[in-house]
Amino acid sequence: MQNKLSKIILLGGSGFVGSRLASSLLSQGHGVVIADIAKSEAHPDLWQHCDVRNKEQLMECCSGADVIINLAAEHRDDVTPKSLYDEVNVEGARLLCEVASELGVKRIIFTSSVVIYGFPEAPLDESGDANYFNDYGRTKWLAEAEYRKWKDADITNRLTIIRPTVIFGEGNRGNVYNLLRQIASGKFLMIGRGENEKSMAYVGNICAFIEYALIQDYEDETFNYVDKPDFNMKELVARVTDILGRKLLLPFSVPAWIVYAGAAFFDLLAKVSGRKFPISMIRVKKFESQTVFDASKMLQSGFVPPYSMPDALERTIRHEFID
């Protein structure tokens, strides 16, 4: 990176992506502040308590910032109360833009999500229409609008929006990890024929692209972030079992309609009982659907991902289930 930045704010920086990004930025000599409601386990000395819903805390954290990178979001499917999606993702974005304007901070990088596109029948690029299916996608889309208002209000403001697909990597405990863990256990059960492809992004690569965006200092750009190639479920299972040197104990599949029926039952039970269950209609839909996105713009930007998808997958599997 050409110039060392004295103060990079990582909002939501205590999480999976933020912790990795902070380590990389620090290794390059940048000054980093991790602003989050949760204390940073990776970098406790850099952590400052900050709730994006609290303007006073945002003012304190962001004062003197060279750039704000907003990774903070309510993203789980089962967030309660549901009002948190709007309070954190949308109102938090509005407040952050207000604070940036008052403090004279001219650069923001916002991590949105490809979830705003929903389940497109064909891969969509950045010009694709929003067709979100849940509150997370809806509020990410509304948050993008808040940042665009901020950008348009001052010609000197610089905005980069990055829409990653589902992110995986060492130490993550999200959807991809749960899938890999099931495959590694040998008890994975395929839903449908397994021909649905999934776009994924490796944490080391998405962090590298955020750093690349810092170097480029884009005026106003939006990028999908996907690591290629996209694997279908059968290919993914084959790659994981090959790395592990194991075979599935249940080498057959279940028709999707049976799983959807079971998920509908658990959704009803969750509504009646107030409990949360690991299976739901939306989670089955995410698993069973084709979710492939166009990342041509990112690939043509000059950025070269430091890790190939096969290498990233093997690094993750070895870290989690072998080493």
Segment 153-180 shows an average pLDDT of 95
Confidence of residue 174 (pLDDT cuts 50, 70, 90): confident
Q: Please give the pLDDT value at position 15.
A: 96
Confidence of residue 2 (pLDDT cuts 50, 70, 90): low
Confidence of residue 53 (pLDDT cuts 50, 70, 90): very high
Segment 86-108 shows an average pLDDT of 98
Cα–Cα separations (whole angstroms), residue 47 to 61, 238, 310:
10, 41, 34
For a pLDDT cut of 90, what percent of the chain falls above it? Answer: 76
The tens digit of pLDDT for each residue in 250-259 reads 666 778 778 7
Confidence of residue 214 (pLDDT cuts 50, 70, 90): very high
Q: Tokens 């599997």 sit at which residue?
A: 317
Q: Please give the pLDDT value at position 224.
A: 98
The tens digit of pLDDT for each residue in 261-280 reads 888 888 888 888 888 877 78
Q: Is the pLDDT of residue 283 over 90?
A: no
Residues labelled as active-site residues: 136
Q: What is the 3-state secondary structure (H, E, C) of 128-181?
A: CCCCCCCHHHHHHHHHHHHHHHHHHHCCCCEEEEEEECEEECCCCCCHHHHHHH
Segment 118-131 shows an average pLDDT of 94
Q: Please give the pLDDT value at position 43.
A: 97
Q: Please give the pLDDT value at position 252.
A: 65
Higher-confidence position of 79 and 125: 125
Q: Please give the pLDDT value at position 250.
A: 65
| Domains of the chain, start order | 8-171+200-227+292-306 (3.40.50.720)
Residue pair 11/50 in contact (Cβ under 8 Å)? The answer is yes
Element holding 107 (H helix, E strand): strand 107-111
Confidence of residue 1 (pLDDT cuts 50, 70, 90): very low
Segment 149-172 shows an average pLDDT of 97
Of 231, 234, 241, the closest CA to residue 202 belongs to 231
Residue 273 has what DSSP assignment? H
Q: What is the mean pLDDT of the chain?
A: 93
Give the phi and the psi of residue 168 in degrees, each rounded to 5: -130, 170
Segment 202-221 shows an average pLDDT of 97
Residue pair 12/71 in contact (Cβ under 8 Å)? The answer is yes
Q: Is the pLDDT of residue 124 over 60?
A: yes
